[in-house]
Each structure stands twice: as C-alpha cells, then as structure tokens.
Chain A
Amino acid sequence: MKKLIIISIWLLPLCNLFAQTNGSSENSYFLDDGGISNSKNLLKVNVLSIVNGDLPFYYERVLSKSFSVEIGAGILLPYYLPELPRLITNNENEIVDPAGGYSLWIQPKYYIQGKSPELRYFGLQFRKRNYNLKNGVIITYDLSFITGTQLIFAKRMALDLSIGLGIHSTNKNETDIFRFNNYLTIPVAIKLGYLF
C-alpha cells in the first residue's frame, strides 16, 4: 500500500505534465513552422544582372510589418552590357573592356500587399558601380523607383521579381568629378534567395 502511495506521488506531477501538454502542445504542433513565419532575414543573388556584368549579393532585413531594407554588394565582371533602354538605343557606351570593379546597392522597400517581406512592394533603389578600365575608373550612379513582387516558396526559398524607372548617371571625366552624363534607366531584376 505504502509502495502504491509513493508511486502515485511520483506519478502525480507526470499526470499534471500530460494535462498541460495536451492542450498547449497541440497548438505547439500546429504553430510549429520551424520559425519560418518569424524569419526576418533574406540572402539573395541577382541572377539577371550577371547578364550586365554585375554579380551582386543582397541582404534584406525586415524592419516592420510593411518596411524592409535591402543592401547589396557585388563584383563587376570583366564584361559589360548596358541595361534597358540603352541596350536598344544607339547611345555611345562609355564602359568598354572593363577589368572588374565593385557595385553597392541600397533599397528601402514598402510592402503593400502582404506582410513584409512578401508579395508586392515599392522601393527606392540607389546603386553605385565602380568600373576599372584600362585608362582609369568610371563611376555610375542610379536612382530608381522600383516595383516588384517577392514570393516565398519551397518553405524558405525567395523569388524577387522587380522592374523600375530611374536616372543613370555616368562620370568619366577625371578632372571634373561633378560632371555627369545622365540617361534613363529601366532596371529589371530577378533575384533568388533564402529566408532565415
């Protein structure tokens, strides 16, 4: 009898534990998504800009329900293809035979359709590209208004499709660093990434 009482006393907290877990552990199971819904960071690569000779990587950080900021850095490849619309117009191309360089990107984003970082957004993209040429350096600056859609698929993969309209400024005058040639630019991007 004494044994039974001792066993019961031992088992009592366990029963209590089961009772507790039955209700809330059920919800724990339904709500356990491996932290995907609370993930606030994305690492991405722009696969389309490789065509233009730029290989940038981005980090996007969710700041609030609607806002995020995306920063990026890339290496410029030893070739260059202008973006739209210069690709189809006959404007003189200042960047010939580049020998590499780097690019820097920053874009605050405002998500209008869903909770950031998902679905439709608007952004303001600033981009700087430093091209090393045989006879010096060309720096280009872009400021574009961007609209795009970011989809999360296969649990944590991200696909970010965007298009924009902005000003592309090129400085090739080494003596006057404030002298720019300005062009219209239509940046198009296809970015693939990972949500964590």
Chain B
Amino acid sequence: MKKYLVLSIYLSFLGILSFGQVKSKKVSILWGDEERESRKSTLSDVVGYDQTGIYAIKTKSGLYGLGSSLTLVHYNNKMSQAKAVKLDLKAQDKSLNFEYILQLHNELYLFSSFRNQKQKKNYLFVQTINKNTLQPADKPKKIAEIDYSGKLKYNSGEFHYEISRDSSKVLIYYNTPYDKGENEKFGFNVFDSEFTMLWHKEVTLPYKEELFDVEDYEVSNNGNVYLLGLIYKDKRKKKRKGEPNYKYQILNYSNNGESLTEYPVEIKGKFLTDMQIAVNPDQDIICGGFYSNIGSFSIKGSYFLKINGKTKEISHKAFREFGIDFITQNMTSRQEAKSRRKAKKGKDVELYEYDLDDIILREDGGAVLVGEQYYINMVVTTNTTNGVTTSRTSYIYNYNDIIVVNLSPEGNIDWTEKIPKRQSTSNDHGFFSSYSLSVVKDKLYFIFNDNPKNLFYKGEGKLYDFIGKKNSLIVMVELDNQGNQTREALFTAREADILTRPKVCEQISPTEMVIYGQRKKSHRFAKVSFLD
C-alpha cells in the first residue's frame, strides 16, 4: 500500500512537471481571485471593457434552471470583482424584460423590452448604464416596436442587434410574429452611435414564413443593411430527388432602405451547407461557407464570394475541395483506411456535421472561415432489476475538430487546416466544450479544454475525449498565416481549480483575452496576454 502511495505521488509529480515544461511561453496569465458562488450561478456574457477592467453579466437560475436573476459585475484589471449590482428592470412600476447589454464607444447600453397586452405592441427600450454605479443612468428610450395584434403575447416577435465594423451604426433587426402561411415579414431600424434613428424599414418578402429563414444580418459603416436568407423551394426540406431544395439569397437594403438588391447564391448541383456574410472596410460583401455533393449534413469543400459594394456585382468566386488527405486527418488508421477505400471506388467521402461559426476579416483584406464539428447523440440505456425494466436517456454533446479556411486578399482559398479536438460530455449542453478564438496580428489562437493525453498529438491515430473531468488540460493552439499549428498547454484544471467555459471567453483588446472558468462553487476570471 505504501509502495503504491509513493509511486502515485511520484507519478503525479512527474505529470505536473511534464506539463510544467510544455506550458506556453507565448502568453502570460493573470489570475483573478477565486470566487465562491452558487452552483446555479454562471457567467452569461462579457459585455464590455475599458481601462478600468471588464463588465460581465452573471445569471443565477432558479429551480429547473428557469426564472433566472441577472447581475452586472465590474471586474478590475486584477480580474477581481470590484462591484456587482443585481439588475432590476423596472419602469413606472412595470417589469421589463432584459434583452442585452452592449458597449458602444466606451458606453454601456442596456436594452429591455415590454409587451403591452392592451396595445398588443412589443416595445424595445435603450438606456445608458452608469459605469460607477452599474445602474441605469437615464430613463428608458423607446427605439423599436413590433405590432402583434391578433397574436398571443408569446408570439410577439424578437429583437436582435448588430453593430457596424467602425461602431458608427447600430442595426436593430426584428422578426414580426410567426404566422404560418403568411409571407415572411421583418423590420429593421438603423441608428447612429447615439441611438438617433437614421432610417426604418418593414419588409414583406414574396416567400412564405415557413419557407424562409434569416441566417445572418450585417450593417455596414454607411448604414446599409445586408441580410442572408435561406429560401426553401416548395417544402421545408433540404433535399428533394437528390438535388438541393433550397438556395441562399443576400438582400442588400441601401439608400436609407429605399433600394433593394438581391444576390442569389447558388451552385448548380451542390448543396451549400453553411454560409456567413461580413462587410469589409471597402463595403464589399464577403461571403463564405461550405458545400457538399450529397446533402446538407456533410461538407466536401469550401467556397468564397465577394460582392462589390459599389457595382453590386459578384467580383470574385472561389471553390476548393478538401481532398482525401484533409478529410482523413485525425482519423484512426481503421477509419482512414475505410475512407480511402471508399474514395478509390469513386464514392463521395465528406466530413460530417460541421457548422460554420464565424467569418473573420483580416486587415490585409483576406478572410478566415472557422467551423467546428458538432452533433448530439441520444443514448438509451435499459436496466432490468427484479423483473422491472427501467430506461434512461442520455444526450451526448460532441464538439470535435475545428476547421480553418484561409482566404487570401485576392479571394483565393490558400489553405485549409484541421485542429484536432475531441470533446464529449453528457447531459450538459456542452457547458465546458467548444473553443474560444483570439485574432492577434496575423495569428489565430484557439483555447479549449482537452484531454492531457492529446497534448503531443501529431495528427494520426486515436484522439482522447475531453469528458469534463478535473484532470483536464486547458490548451492553446496557435495557427500562423501559413497554416502551421502548434499546440501548447496553458494550465491544468486541477491547478486553477476550474474548467474554462470557452463559449463565454472573449478577446478584449488586440493582444488580450478574458477567460472564465468554474467548477462546482469555484468561479474565476483570468486575463491572457499574448506576448508574440
């Protein structure tokens, strides 16, 4: 027994040492105080940052995770809590619904809504937040409304926002209440940075609501609105008779909403499985995504389109197939052999269940597409005890490899890289899974929770699952502008006493990122500074 104890102490010491040796020297980490909070409490979003620190929203959920309360928290530059105020959204004795908080030109703005049952109107309000008191500094100002006459208040539309690249314009986009069989309707209000309305437009499209989805929307520096729509041909089905049954369409509202230009984005015989749009500083629309030969659940390659903002014409198109070597990356030798056999027979071999997360515009005019494999498995286990059979359903949340596609300033697809990652957790909605991304100069940094056995993974053989345990390792993958990747350890979950929550971590300056982690009742912020 004593022998085992000595051995295990020795081994764990060795383990710590080995991680200690490979810990990244490309970053410095400033840890905040460890906070003890309720297990039901978590970070919802980092909503702002300035020279005094960061501002974050924390939620504490009630029974069954519902009926949550919101707290606005200010953390100082040492990442320690400086002030926390519970948000009580009341105006004239009426409770308002929290929508979001956003930062614009160093000011924090609080958005709230009120569904007026008497008038059948859903109103959106904005008010500034005093950064010292963390309380609203002025009265709510109404900036948008949705009429839901004839509908239940539970179907009263939703408000969304988008900020232009230079933060000079704010788009409030809203869905009108769903009405099956009716034509798709939505509206947008475009504001300047002081929330003075510049123009407003309500649109009725010639497509039925159930056959049209808004996938993405953008506002340019000069106040033009771009909307990416997915249009189904007849039925809401992605595939009919082996052919795509949908198409993407970009709608451009310019000239204060007076002019509409439509850009259908279609490739004959190919399924465009994902698409995102962005507006570059020249006001061109950059549009990228993945395509498939066989359906909408798999991808075979990536594509890129550039629409000239002035002439409104497609100025550049590019497609690139991933190729069998890329597809078989990070596969076990058995999976690889199977895929290669299939490809040799002339069958389509594709990557499955990838979602396009982001399109990042680089300063040199190029762009980067980032996607991740994500799917959910349902596992039913049955157990018979004393003749009584019970069954239990578990949902396994899988967040796997990350794909990065690099587009040159000329619009060509330069390289495509896959970052190996396996995250598989059950019944937690992937709370500690996925990744956070920082763009520092011409490099991309991905941070995520990983299994320590993957630290020296070279792209071949078995990858081990991160399963949310305390022995996990928080890693950083650096991807340079040539597509070379290096994987390094940041810290272990054991030493920090937390697991990071990559989905809420955020880049706060060109060289800094805030990471947040929690485990049981321990909560902690850290600031990662990229030294390169």
Interfacial residues, chain A to chain B (CB-CB below 8 A):
23-24, 26-28, 30-34, 36-38, 65-66, 110-113, 115, 119, 151-153, 155-156
Contacts and interface: CB of A to CB of B under 8 A. Distances in A.
B380 interface: no
Interface string B282-313: 00000000000000000000000000000000
A36 B118 contact: yes
Contact of A36 (B62, B92, B117): B117
A30 B114 contact: yes
B119 to A, nearest CB: 7
B94 interface: yes
Contact of B67 (A31, A38, A66, A156): A66
A121 to B, nearest CB: 11
Contact of B140 (A27, A65, A112): A27
Nearest to A116: B67
A80 B125 CA distance: 54
A37 B95 contact: yes
B153 A112 contact: no
A149 B166 CA distance: 46
A124 to B, nearest CB: 14
A49 B91 CA distance: 41
Give the residue among B67, B95, B115, B152 with the most A Cβ atoms within 10 A.
B67
Contacts of B95: 37, 115
A30 B67 CA distance: 25
B13 interface: no
A151 B152 CA distance: 9
Contact of A37 (B63, B94, B123, B140): B94
A31 B154 contact: no
Interface in B128-151: 139-140, 142
Contacts of A30: 114, 116, 121, 123, 125, 142
Nearest to A39: B117
A37 B92 contact: no
Describe B's contact surface by its main secondary structure: mixed
Contacts of B117: 33-34, 36-37, 152, 155-156
Contact of A33 (B119, B125, B140): B119
Contacts of B388: none
B118 A27 contact: no
A31 B90 CA distance: 11
A194 to B, nearest CB: 13
Interface pairs A-B: 7 shortest CB-CB: A33-B118, A36-B117, A34-B118, A33-B116, A31-B94, A112-B64, A30-B123
B118 A112 contact: no
A112 B139 contact: no
Contact of A27 (B63, B66, B67, B91): B91
B126 to A, nearest CB: 12
A37 B92 CA distance: 12
Contacts of B325: none
Contact of A38 (B91, B94, B139, B142): B94
A50 B114 CA distance: 38
A41 to B, nearest CB: 16
Given A31-B94, A34-B117, A112-B63, 20 more contacts: A24-B92, A28-B92, A30-B121, A30-B125, A30-B142, A31-B114, A31-B116, A32-B116, A32-B119, A33-B117, A33-B119, A36-B118, A37-B95, A65-B67, A66-B62, A110-B63, A112-B67, A152-B153, A155-B117, A156-B117
Given A33-B117, A37-B117, A153 B139 contact: no
Contact of A153 (B62, B118, B142, B152): B152
20 contacts: A23-B139, A24-B92, A27-B142, A31-B92, A32-B118, A33-B116, A33-B117, A33-B118, A34-B117, A37-B117, A66-B62, A110-B63, A111-B67, A112-B66, A112-B67, A113-B66, A115-B67, A155-B117, A155-B118, A156-B117
B93 interface: yes
A23 B125 CA distance: 13
B67 A151 contact: no
Interface in B355-400: none
Give the residue among A30, A152, A153 with the most B Cβ atoms within 10 A.
A30
Contacts of A113: 66
A24 B91 CA distance: 10
Contacts of A65: 67
A171 B139 CA distance: 62
B118 A26 contact: no
Contacts of B114: 30-31, 37
Contacts of B152: 151, 153
Contacts of B118: 32-34, 36, 155
Contacts of A26: 142
A151 B100 CA distance: 26
A66 B65 CA distance: 12
Nearest to A23: B139
Given A36-B118, A152-B153, A155-B117, A27 B92 contact: yes
Interface in B307-355: none
A151 B116 CA distance: 16
B278 to A, nearest CB: 35
Give the residue among A27, A38, A113 with the most B Cβ atoms within 10 A.
A27
A171 to B, nearest CB: 32
